[in-house]
Amino acid sequence: MIKVGVFSEDEDYAKAVSLAISGRRTDANVSILTEREQAESGDWDVKLLLEEYFSLKEVLALYDAQLSEADRRTLPCSPSCRLTAVSSAYGGLGQTTVCRALGGLLSAAFQKRILYLDLSGHTEGCLPADGMGADQSEILYRICCEDRAPELYESAFLRDEYGLYELPQRCGFTPAAELTEEEADGFVRKLACSCMFDSIILDIDYKLPELRFFAGICEENVLLKPAFGMTPLYGFFEAWLRKGSGGEDIRRLHILDLSGLGRAVRPGDADIYSELGALLLPLARDLAGRMLDS
C-alpha cells in the first residue's frame, strides 16, 4: 500500500480529496492530516499539501508525480482516456476484426473518439496518410523518444467511414517489437494524455512477451473466448488476467464469447461486422459509460 498524507486548511476539501484518491487509486492508504507539520514528520510515500483548490485531474497529477517509477507504471495512463486491450489465447480468432468492429461501434454509435493501435505486428500494406513518409516507425520513434507531442503528428492518423482513428504502420513495425518497455510505455501514455481520444484500443499479439505489460496498464481488458474446444490455454489466460486486473474500479476484464456468432470470424468477411455489432453492443455500451463526455 502507498501511504498518502493529505493536508488542507479546509478540512471538508481534504476529506473530498481523500475520497477521490481512494476511489481512483485503490492501492492508496490515505490519511487526513490536521496539521501541516504532520506531513513533514510522517513517513509518507505521497504528501499532498493543498494550499489552493485543485481539480480532480490536477490532484491525481500531483499524486502520480510523487510515486516511484515502479508504482507509476501500474497506474491507468490518463484520467481522460481509457485504454482497452483486446487479446486471445490463440491466433486466428478474429482479434483484429473485433478491434475494428468495437472501435467503429464506439465511434459511430456512441460518438467517442477512438484510436485503434495494432501492436500485433500483422498489419499488411497500410497506406500512409497524405504528406507522411512511408515508414510510420519514424513518427512513433519521435513521439516516444524525442519527447514530441502526439498532436504534432495528427495528420498521420487515418479515419475510416465509422470515424475510427488509426495510426498506419508499415514494415510490421510495432512498439512492442521495436521499442523497449519503457519507450513503449511512454509512447502509449503520451497518446493517452494528449486529450485527442476518449479511448485507445490496443490489438495485442498473444505471442508477445510484452502482453503482460500492456494488459497491466489497460483499464479494460477484453479476452476473446474461442468457439472451439482448446480450453486449457484459454483457461490459463483468463486466470492470469483476472489475477492482474486489480480493483474493479480501476481495471476490468471482459470475456467476449465468440460462439455467440455461430461461425468463425475470418479476415475479409464484410458480413461479419453486422453480426459482431449485435454481439459487441453490450460491451460497447459498458465501455462508453466509463469514458468522459467528449
Q: Residue 231: pLDDT band by 50, 70, 90 thresholds?
A: low
* Beta strand 220-225 pairing with 28-33: unpaired
**Cα 261 to Cα 61: distance, rounded to the nearest angstrom:** 43
**Cα 211 to Cα 67: distance, rounded to the nearest angstrom:** 24
- Angle of helix 181-192 relative to helix 137-145, nearest 10 degrees, comes to 90
Residues in the chain: 294
Q: Decide: residue 12, CB within 10 A, 0-12 exposed, 13-18 middle, 19+ buried.
A: exposed
* Beta strand 28-33 pairing with 2-7: parallel
Domain chopping of the chain, boundaries: 2-72, 82-289
All three cell numbers of 94, joined, read 478474429
pLDDT digits (tens, 9 = 90+) for 239-271: 777 765 554 545 788 888 888 787 777 766 777
Q: What is the mean pLDDT of the chain?
A: 77
Whether pLDDT at 229 is above 80: no
**Cα 272 to Cα 263: distance, rounded to the nearest angstrom:** 9
**Cα 200 to Cα 100: distance, rounded to the nearest angstrom:** 12
Q: What percentage of the chain exceeds 90 in pLDDT?
A: 15
**Cα 216 to Cα 241: distance, rounded to the nearest angstrom:** 9
Q: Hey, which CATH number is domain 82-289, 3.40.50.300, 3.30.420.270, 3.30.70.930, 3.90.10.10? A: 3.40.50.300
**Cα 225 to Cα 223: distance, rounded to the nearest angstrom:** 6
Q: Residue 32: pLDDT band by 50, 70, 90 thresholds?
A: very high
Radius of gyration of the chain (CA): 21
**Cα 118 to Cα 106: distance, rounded to the nearest angstrom:** 17
pLDDT digits (tens, 9 = 90+) for 169-213: 543 445 555 666 677 777 888 888 888 899 999 888 765 555 666
